[in-house]
Structure 1
C-alpha cells in the first residue's frame, strides 16, 4: 500500500517550530537524527499517529533547504516522504520516467530515494520502501525494524505548484496511482489520504496545508512553520 508517511517543514529557526508542533500534535518527545548533518541540517521528527511531521533547519550555509527557504520567502512545507512497495524505489523506473535521483540509501530495513524537484515539478519528494511494514527508521529506535502500536495520522496535504495539472500527472506516474477526476487530487492508502495540488502565484512549490486525524484530541487548527494544520479527532473520521 502506498501512503504518505512524513511531512517535512523547513524553518529558519527549528526550536520554536518544534515546540509548537509538539503541542499541536500532542506528541511525545521528538527524535533528533544526527544523520541529517550530512545535508547541513538539524531536525526534529514528531510522531503524529502512525505518521510523522519533521522540521529541519540549516546548520551550515549553502544547503538545499536554505536555498529553498530563500526562494520561498520564509518557513514552509518543504518535502513529502512516501512509503510504498519496492517497485516505487527502483532506479530503472525513475530513469524511464525521466526523473533524476539526488539521494539514495539502501539499508536492511529501508530504501530511501530523493527525487530532483525540477523533474517532479513539486516539492522535494522522497520515495521509501520499508521492511517490516509500518516501521520508519527516520523516526528513531522505536520505529527501526518494528512498528509501535499507533492509530491515525496524515489525511491530506495541499501542495502549491505553478502547474497543478502537470504536476499531478507526473506524481501519479511516479506513485503508480490515478488522479481523482480532474481536480488534481491523488489518493493514497486506499483512499484514506490525498495529495491536493493547487496553483500558486510564484514559481516555488510548497506544502501549504495539512489535515491529520489523531486519537483522543479535540478539533484544533493553527499555522505552524508556514503550514496550516487542521487536526480532527480520529473517532469522527
Structure 2
C-alpha cells in the first residue's frame, strides 16, 4: 500500500512537472509596424519617425482582428511612435483592454545616421556601389536570389555613412537578441504563453537571420508576423517569417 501511495505521489509530481514544462514554452509574435508617411514616400526611416498613414492604420486594425483568438500575456513595442501606435491599434482591434504596452529602446529600427529622412536611393545606391554593384536595383536583385546577405547590406550602409552614427549588422543583432531574450525569460517566469512585440523590418531580420536555415531574400511587409518559439530549455525556433495570414484573416472578418 505504501509503495502504491509513493507511486501515485511520484506520478503526480511528474505530471505537475510536465505541465510546468509545457506551460513554460513562450510564443513571441514579432510584427512590423504599419505603413508610415516615410514608407509611403520612400525615405530612410530608422531612428527617425513618422506616423502611420491611413493604409497603415487599416493594416494594423486587420492584424488586430486576425489575432483576436490569440491570448497575449504581455505586449512590447520599440519606443518609436509608429511602433507604439501600431501596438495600440492592434490591441484595440482585438478587443484587448487589460494589457499595457512595454516600450524597449532595444527594439528600435537600425539607425541610418545622416541618411535618416533621405530618399531611399540616396542611401542604397552608395551602399550598393560599395559592394561592387552598379545600383540599388542590382543589389536588391541579388538579395532576391540569395546572393547577398542582409549582413553585407547593413554593413555597407555603415561603411558609407559619414557621421559615424549608423549601426552595423552586429550592433542591431546584438541589441535585438538581448531584447528578445529578456522578453522571453520574463514570459517564461510568468509560466509561458503568447507575447506580442511590435518592432521594425530590418531589425527583426537582423535578429533572426542567423537562426534560419535559409537566406532572407526580401523585406518584411507592414504588419507581417514573425513567430518565434522559446522552449523551456532556452532555444529559439523561428516558426514563421513575414507571415501575412493574420492580416488576411483580419480582412476577411470585417
TM-score with structure 1 length normalisation?
Answer: 0.28
Greater gyration radius: 2
Higher relative contact order (CA 8 A, sep 6+): 2
TM-score with structure 2 length normalisation?
Answer: 0.27
Give the number of the structure whose residues are more often strand, by fraction.
Answer: 1
